[in-house]
A and B are shown apart, each in its own frame.
Chain A
Amino acid sequence: MLLRLLPLLVFGAFAVVMLVGLYSPKSSLFAASSMEGMPLPEIAPVPLDGLPSVTLDSLKGQPYLLNVFASWCSPCRAEHGLLKELSDQGIPVVGIAWQDRAEAITQWFAEDGNPYRMVGLDGDGSIATTLGITGVPESFVVGADGTILFHLAGPLDEAWIQQHVLPAMAGKKP
């Protein structure tokens, strides 16, 4: 009896493993935290007219939040308010727009405000790979020495900010 059921059992076990993998919240093959502990690579975003361009050298010696976003991305719009709150608290927030158009960004900022101390465009999409991202939004907490302390793939929330962003900005070691 058991022998007859063996192929079915093997298939069932295989299907369960596949389904768990498929629907697991961490089903992505690509580790979102693989950049943590690495120095932030050099990036040169394209400046946007009328907005302060990204000069990371000017932030040397202080921690900051680097946020990759797009004006067409709903989760990016959802986290916009949190970014503005951080910016209002004096936390330097740097923005990199991915797969976006300058006009769409400036129009969005005109409507909802600009939380970024400096902002630029990932012109050819290669900055996304340089930073090891798999989509937008993604955020990096960068320490005063330029090391990536934390990497979040997905929208910011209060809990992540309390746990990772604020302590790092206060100069506390993770």
Chain B
Amino acid sequence: MKPLLPMILAFLMLNQAMALTLQETLPDPAMEARAQSMFAAIRCVTCQSQSVAESQSAMAHGMRQFIRQEMVKGSSDEDIYSLLRSRYGDAVLMSPPVNARTIPLWLMPLLVLLGGIIAAMLMFKRMRSKESH
């Protein structure tokens, strides 16, 4: 057991050191909180449906650093969203904006639901008319 203790301690210290390197948070807590909330709203461009807050990929790490650097430069949230959209399009936002291009995307579930309700109503009507005959 004794030789294991230094190894466990070394492992814990290494883990701690790696966590510090990976996080690289901003010194200003308010600015870091702003950055964190933006990370949740931005899609990682190499991941499947993950925000940059959730993803551990190298690209997401770079995107987080980009957002932090822009905040330090004094860019507003809108400026940063605009910079990211100019590079990756609206798809970089976790919630795409409602506009002429994306309206079918937003309406599709409603249309499918409406189609399903109409189909179900017609089927029931048919079944009832068969039963009454």
- Which residues of B78-122 are within 8 A (CB) of A? 84, 86-89, 91-92, 112, 115-116, 119, 122
B45 within 8 A of A: yes
B86–A38 touching, CB < 8 Å: yes
Q: Taking A99-B58, A130-B66, A134-B59 as contacts, is the C-beta distance between A124 and B91 under 8 angstroms?
A: no
> Of the 9-residue stretches A27-35, A48-56, A101-109, which lies at the interface with chain B?
A27-35
A19 within 8 A of B: no
Q: Taking A38-B86, A125-B59 as contacts, is the C-beta distance between A10 and B115 under 8 angstroms?
A: yes
Report Cα–Cα, A141/B45, bound state, in Å: 22
Report Cα–Cα, A55/B25, bound state, in Å: 29
A6 within 8 A of B: yes
B126 within 8 A of A: yes
A6–B62 touching, CB < 8 Å: no
Instruction: For A7, list chain B residues within 8 Å (CB).
Output: 116, 119
Query: A132 touches which one: B43, B58, B69, B87 (CB < 8 A)?
Result: B87
Give me 20 A-to-B residue pairs in the complex whose CB atoms sit less than 8 angstroms apart, sorted by A's number. Answer: A3-B119, A4-B123, A7-B119, A14-B112, A29-B43, A29-B91, A30-B45, A30-B89, A34-B86, A34-B89, A38-B86, A124-B61, A125-B62, A125-B63, A126-B65, A126-B69, A127-B62, A134-B88, A135-B46, A135-B59
State the B residues within 8 Å of A (CB).
24, 43, 45-46, 58-59, 61-63, 65-66, 69, 84, 86-89, 91-92, 112, 115-116, 119, 122-123, 126
